[in-house]
Structure 1
Amino acid sequence: MPLTAFALGCWQVHRLNWKADLIARFEDRLIRPPLQLPPKIDPTAIKEFDYRRILATGTYRHDQEMLIGPRIHEGENGYLVVTPLERPNGASTVLVCRGWIKKEFKDQKMREEGLPRGVITVEGLLREPFKKNLFTPDNNPGMDEWYFPDVAQMAKMTGAQPVWVEETLVGDFLEEQRREARGIPIGRSPEVHLRNNHAQYIFTWYTLSLATAVMLWMVVKKKRSITSQRVRQNREW
């Protein structure tokens, strides 16, 4: 057990270094000026541009909107709004995650202000979206029920390229409150959102290694003491 825990601690040190390097690379991409999204995108290259700021110009296809949920934001239940952005001049349509809305604004008729018309320019991040976990139900496109972003599935449904853009919002608390009250999607902050708990795991595994090593030493010491005592008793007889 001590050796196993120690090995796991060493593995977490490796993972910590890997995660720190990954976060540094993403943060470096965030400080660069936004790129204009090219007319056609190679989906296989998106991983190399993860967290890259981009600009995309086009018209939202609100008739093809998809709501992912339920999703919790600041203790409130709601949905992530995903809308295809149809770009002009033969450029491909892409999927834009516009942000979060409260569940009472699920019906588009309740949030006309949150449905921009005409040509707009979106600033956001190229991303690889979050994956479903063991407890997430499968999507049911036929019933327009979406529980997680399956980019390939959504792109097929809307005729878009399997490209995922997360619209960003640089605003204060009051702006978020204004949007929430009017059903305007609250975009994500332009920051790196990656969990990095490896330092805690390192402490846990190394502590466990030390504790079990001490316990093992005490057990061995006790056995040796008992054995020595029996040997002395036998010699006395």
Structure 2
Amino acid sequence: MSIKFKPMPWLTGIVAIMLVILISLGVWQYQRLNWKTDLLAEVEASVTAPPLTSLEDLDRAIAADEPVDFRRIAFQSSPVAGEPIYAVYRTQQGGIYWDLFQQYSNIFGRFETVLDDAKPDGTAVSPATLVADIHVGYVREDHPMGTVEGWLKSKPNRTTNRWFKFNQTGDWGDEDTRLSHYIDIEQTLPFDTADRGQAAASALPVRRPTIRNNHRDYMLTWFSFALLLVIFYGLIHKRAGRLSW
């Protein structure tokens, strides 16, 4: 069987460009599918892992490249004396809210959410004399802002202590402060025994974030469009007598 095909130059050029775009979008969604699948597996490994019991444990886990986002933790520490309390805007109904962050040893912790009229100003600092309580919560991994996000985010104001992302300016703490992660503190206990902190961390509910993974559907949609485009391209040429076999 011989195939006779005389392509329409203008239509072939348009279809070729569209095919490149559609196939590129399908490949991109395939890459996104693999990334999201790995991310969900990492989150599941982190949320089901035994709670970390100290900041040293967290250091070890990060150094070993273990998944720690949303992992439960109990650690003993007091806020670093004289360091600022940072107020980060929280989207929430019913008013203007701010998450308060302060430094504990070499990591920051979100310890409270307050209404706008309770937000500390730019001169507020962590209490100078606090005992080393046990803090229980979830480790959170922070992701730096991309270029476009940096353009679109509201700019921080140090004087009024207004920030719109954790460590938005990249200059919180000193060079020894771990700023790739922070801790979402849910509970603070007076220090008595380490076992109490471990029990409180184990009692925290597993927090699984809602992360949709629809990239397989998106991938199949783009590849389907590419296939339909080829089919319509062939039918147009067949009806015009430019394709026969």
Give the TM bin, normalised by the shorter chain.
0.5 to 0.7
Do residues 27 (structure 1) and 44 (structure 2) align? yes
Do residues 121 (structure 1) and 138 (structure 2) align? no
The aligned runs of 1:1-237 (5 Å cut-off) are: 1-39=18-56, 41=59, 45=63, 48-51=66-69, 52-60=71-79, 64-69=84-89, 71-74=90-93, 76-85=95-104, 92-98=105-111, 100-107=113-120, 118-132=131-145, 133=149, 134-141=151-158, 144-150=161-167, 152-156=170-174, 160-162=177-179, 164-167=181-184, 169=186, 190-224=207-241
* 1:214 aligned counterpart, secondary structure: helix
Q: 1:217 to 1:42 in 2, by over 3 A?
A: same
Conserved in 2, the CA contact under 8 Å of 1:30 and 1:190? yes
List per-residue Cα deviations over 1:65-98 (Å, max 9, x = no partner).
10112x212575322221212xxxxxx3320123
List per-residue Cα deviations over 1:214-237 (Å, max 9, x = no partner).
332333234336x99xxxxxxxxx
Partner of 1:173: none
Conserved in 2, the CA contact under 8 Å of 1:43 and 1:163? no
**Offset of 1:136 from its aligned partner?**
1.0
- Mapped to 1, the partners of 2:64 and 2:99 lie a distance apart of 21
RMSD: 3.9
Conserved in 2, the CA contact under 8 Å of 1:130 and 1:148? no
- Unpaired runs of 5+ in structure 2? 1-17, 122-129, 188-204
Conserved in 1, the CA contact under 8 Å of 2:87 and 2:120? no
Conserved in 2, the CA contact under 8 Å of 1:95 and 1:163? no
**Offset of 1:4 from its aligned partner?**
3.9
List per-residue Cα deviations over 1:134-189 (Å, max 9, x = no partner).
401444445533222227411239x844363232559xxxxxxxxxxxxxxxxx97
- Unpaired runs of 5+ in structure 1? 86-91, 109-116, 171-187, 229-237
What one-letter code is carried by the residue in structure 2 that aligns with 1:210? L
TM norm structure 1: 0.63
What one-letter code is carried by the residue in structure 2 that aligns with 1:120? D
**Offset of 1:16 from its aligned partner?**
1.2
- Mapped to 2, the partners of 1:33 and 1:44 lie a distance apart of 15
Return the structure number with greater relative CO, CA threshold 8 A, min gap 6. Answer: 2
- Mapped to 2, the partners of 1:75 and 1:203 lie a distance apart of 41
List per-residue Cα deviations over 1:90-120 (Å, max 9, x = no partner).
xx33201235433343249xxxxxxxx6432
What one-letter code is carried by the residue in structure 2 that aligns with 1:13? Y
Percent identical? 21
- Mapped to 1, the partners of 2:116 and 2:217 lie a distance apart of 36
| Equivalent residue pairs, number | 195
